[in-house]
Amino acid sequence: MLKHIFGKVTKYKNQDYDTLKKESKEKQTLFIDNEFPPDDRSLFYTPNKIPGVVWKRPKQICENPKLFVEGASSGDVSQGRLGNCWFVAASSCLAQEKEIWHKVIPDSKEQEWDDQKPEEYQGIFKFQFWRFGEWTEIVIDDFLPTVNDELIFIHSQSKNEFWSALLEKAYAKLFGCYEVLDGGELAEALEDFTGGVSDTIDMIKANVATHAEERVALFARMQKDMDRRSLMAASIPATSQDEMEASTSSGLVKGHAYGITAVKNVHLEGSGLFGLFNRDKLPMVRLRNPWGQGEWKGAFSDGSEEWNKISKSDREKVGLVNEDDGEFWMTMEDFCANFHNVAICRVVNTSYLSLNKTWVEGLHHGAWKKPNRAGGCANNRDSFLNNPMYIFEVTENQDDFMIQLMQKSQGLTIGNRKIVELNRKYRIHNLGLHEKVTSTVFRDSRSMFLRQTVEKGRYVIIPSTFEPNVEVEFLIRVYTDTPNKFKELVHDRPQKKWYSCLSKSPSLVTHIKVVRAHGLEKQDLQGADPYCVISCEGKIVTTTAAKNTTDPQWNQSAVFYRKNPLKKPLKVQIWNANMVRDTYMGKHIFTATDEMNGVQKEVTLVGRKKEQNAPREGKLIVQITQSRTLTTV
């Protein structure tokens, strides 16, 4: 389950840190990385983008260089001449979580300059990034690009601190050169630092600026994720090249990412803020500009009216600090009115963080392949069901799941569709029979993310490219609260076991959807909490319970591959869920074995055992597809 966090680390380009360091020590020379040489090949694919670059080791730039000066903090990461504020903001978030940066910068004490043992320093460093389900170790030398003896890219506010500059170099090596980092996705960098699951919230589409309920819900979500030590950042997209890194009248910068360092309800009672805002608590967000300067100019900005009306002791009491360091506070209302996107990276299943919330992971490396596993999106009705299919279970009556689909090569438009069924074991062959839970939009992106609250059931995921017959590998990850039995659906129908040559094979497949019921017996003050138990040839499937009604709607399906349809009919019972003991409400036995395609039936209910011929109140509506061709459903 934690393989992606603690599993085997892959050596990038087969470079082993210990071996290379030992070789350099034996040769009495500092390490030079021929796989990412200190020359223009590692800088840009655009010739002469920055003239006059000189590669220098830290000891040629300053005296007493250090990997860390008083540990790592969000203030250690300031942007240089590269348009990679997304990476800078992610690095700033990383610096706040010691447990995480210990994973990205392993053995940091061993890698540090040691003034007592200068001979141990060999000019070599290692970093680790999560890529497509596994951790990859990157080895680099310590040559860094400078102009006029100054670092031209990421740098720390402390002139002799180099962890952020070396981290950026390792990331540039992973992607080919520094210029590749000029424009990227913040959420992707957060994933590469953590192995977590990221998504980006479009606050414009969510209407959080104008709808108070949506704003309250977003704040609660952000606060919950921040309490679980998720990494977060916000941005304002630029709509043109002229807008890139242009400041707005409020002081915020377009085309720029800001790390989110706190999300909290500030309790105002007993402070000077209570009379100012006339409320008990004030939802606030703290952000940091990766540039280390340039802050918000509105409410709670440096020198603002709000600060001037609050005493220092009151500010300390509510946990607000006002310093000129690129970090600033905003009310949630101002935050939603000014920012467009929020990226949240949830670090899942990480015992080293001791999160209250833990997730159960299902992970699979798959591929869209011709001729029969690359069907394209659902617009391609004849081929869509040729795509890979995966299944997982939600065992609680209502629970969250997260799904991420990640393609291993950029440039494809991808998405996925989710279908619910209670006992699916084999691939789906008839899309029209199944309830679609949801589907993601299709877009050209490294990954797609979905988080949803659903009823219990067995869910089928069908990941796809937009166009059919496109071949590419992907990684799919599913997270649930409880064990989910995640696996790929490989077979089209039940497979005959080699040791069961004397047993019968299925001769009929029945797909039944219990749609709804009406006029059921009232058994509680508010009606009943009815659910269905569907049974056939020893297999039993139970639906969720509808609450406080005698006219329930379920719209839940089950499929049965039947060996003795004549002797062992299919039965649907309706029960009322109770705290102590469930009570019986009626049943219907389906004896028909003829073929049918999506036939809807309204049937009567009868009693149990000796009363099985006695009618019970209410009618049950089902939809049945039945065939001797086992790949019909």
| Catalytic residue set | 85, 256, 289
Sheet holding 150-151, edge to edge: 54-56, 144-147, 150-151
Residue 71 burial (CB < 10 Å; 0-12/13-18/19+)? exposed
> H or E element: which one contains 314?
helix 312-318
Q: How many Cβ atoms sit within 10 Å of the Cβ of residue 45? A: 12
> Among candidates 332, 416, 347, which has minimal Cα distance to 377?
416
Q: Residue 125 contacts by C-beta under 8 Å, 6 or more apart in sequence?
A: 67, 111, 139, 140, 141, 142, 166, 170
What are residue 147's DSSP bridge partners? 150
Distance separating alpha carbons of residues 154 and 563, to the nearest angstrom: 68
The first and second tokens of residue 69, run together, are 């000066």
Phi-psi domain of 219 (left: phi exceeds 0; alpha: psi -120 through 50; beta: other) = alpha
Give DSSP secondary structure letters for 444-501.
ESSEEEEEEEEEEEEEEEEEEESSSS--EEEEEEEEESS----EEE--SSPPPPTT-T
* Phi-psi category of residue 589: left, alpha or beta, with phi > 0 → left and psi -120 to 50 → alpha: beta
Answer yes or no: are the C-beta atoms of 90 and 193 closer than 8 Å. Answer: yes
Coil/strand/helix, residue 619: strand
Rounded Cα distance between 473 and 465, Å, is 11
Kindly state the tokens that stand for 254: 């377009």
Say if residues 141 and 38 touch (Cβ distance below 8 Å): yes
Q: Extract long-range pairs of 217-226: CB within 8 Å, 24+ residues apart.
A: 218/336, 218/342, 219/263, 219/283, 219/332, 222/260, 222/263, 222/285, 222/342, 222/344, 223/263, 223/264, 223/265, 225/344, 225/346, 226/260, 226/262, 226/263
Q: What are phi and psi of 253, to 5 degrees?
A: -110, 135
